[in-house]
Amino acid sequence: PIERSLVLLKPDAVRRGLLGEILGRFERKGLVVEALELRTMDAALADQHYADHVEKAFYPPLKQFMTSGPLVALVLSGDEVIEVVRAMIGSTDGRKAAAGTIRGDFALSNRENLVHASDSPESAQRELALWFPKL
Ligand code: CMP
């Protein structure tokens, strides 16, 4: 089924000049960019976006990082896009992510890992409403 996923190219992707590389991979895969915006996450949006993580020990530095500069928020659509994008991104920790994935090829951290993507249809629905309420 055609789905939508909320994808964030995190502040490290912007700072490192990797937007084109990452977006190009999604485009070449055949995914459709339905919305795209340069945004800076504020504290309130971070707490909402990461509602499942706010109590975790890694959250304060994650919040600091995610609000540290502009990021690119986008909506991608395509057949089974949620699973497809997560496979392209690789596992959370860039040191362990498989070569060939975005994190495996470009990240060396489990926090500054370049990309976020919705991990289920339920989280996609929640995150899309948060970032692109008019879509
Ligand atoms: P993301 O897909 O945005 O979802 C939660 C984020 O928390 C994750 O990517 C990482 O940036 C960060 N994260 C998850 N686990 C850890 C961890 N153990 N230490 C630091 N950051 C983490």
Catalytic residues: 116
ipTM over 0.90: yes
Under a CB-based contact definition with an 8 Å cutoff, are residues 84 and 104 in contact? Answer: no
Whether ligand 1 lies within 6 angstroms of the CB of 60 is answered as no
Domains of the chain as residue ranges with CATH: 2-131 (3.30.70.141)
pLDDT in tens, 23-80: 999 999 999 999 999 999 999 999 999 999 999 999 999 999 999 999 999 999 999 9
pLDDT band at 104 (very low <50, low <70, confident <90, very high): very high
Ligand 1, atom 22, residue with closest C-alpha: 111
Residue range 11-21: mean pLDDT, rounded: 98
User: Which residue bears the tokens 């971070």?
Assistant: 46
Contacts 24+ apart (CB under 8 A), 44-50: 45/130, 48/130, 49/127, 49/130, 49/131
Full-model pTM: 0.97
d(CA 117, CA 22) in angstroms, rounded, equals 13
Residue range 70-96: mean pLDDT, rounded: 98
Whether ligand 1 lies within 6 angstroms of the CB of 25 is answered as no
Residue range 94-100: mean pLDDT, rounded: 98
Residue 129 neighbours by CB under 8 Å, 6+ apart: none
| 124 C-alpha to ligand 1 centroid (Å) | 17
Whether ligand 1 lies within 6 angstroms of the CB of 32 is answered as no
* pLDDT score at 21: 98
* pLDDT score at 4: 98
Q: Which helix (H) or strand (E) holds 115?
A: strand 115-117
Ligand 1, atom 10, residue with closest C-alpha: 111
